[in-house]
Amino acid sequence: MELSLVALLCFSNLASVLASTMDDGKDFDDPFHYDYESVRIGGLVFAAVLFFLGIFIIIMLWGNQSRSILSVSPPIGESSGMTKT
């Protein structure tokens, strides 16, 4: 879980760094300025982080499930529920 937290922190700072380096020479004297480029980049980074976090969680749960299936196998000689007479 620590690896996913580190990845989340790294990618969350990446969007703000990329958005701050883009200077397109826009008119910043307007009373309202909406930077669609930084919103788009932030959304893509957020989606990528969620995607990889989901894959990581699925792999972790799948690994735990396969281990539990192997550990619940019946003892040798008791594979069927029938009794000997």
How many Cα atoms sit within 13 Å of 50 on the Cβ side? 6
Region 71-77: mean pLDDT is 61
pLDDT confidence of residue 35: 85
Average pLDDT value for residue range 48-74: 81
The pLDDT, as a whole number, for residue 56 is 94
- So what's the pLDDT on residue 19? 57
DSSP string covering 39-77: HHHHHHHHHHHHHHHHHHHHHHHHHHHHHHHHHTPPPTT
The DSSP 8-state label assigned to residue 80 in this structure reads S
Q: Is pLDDT at 30 greater than 60 in this prediction?
A: yes
Check whether 40 has a pLDDT greater than 80: yes
Q: What is the mean pLDDT of the chain?
A: 73
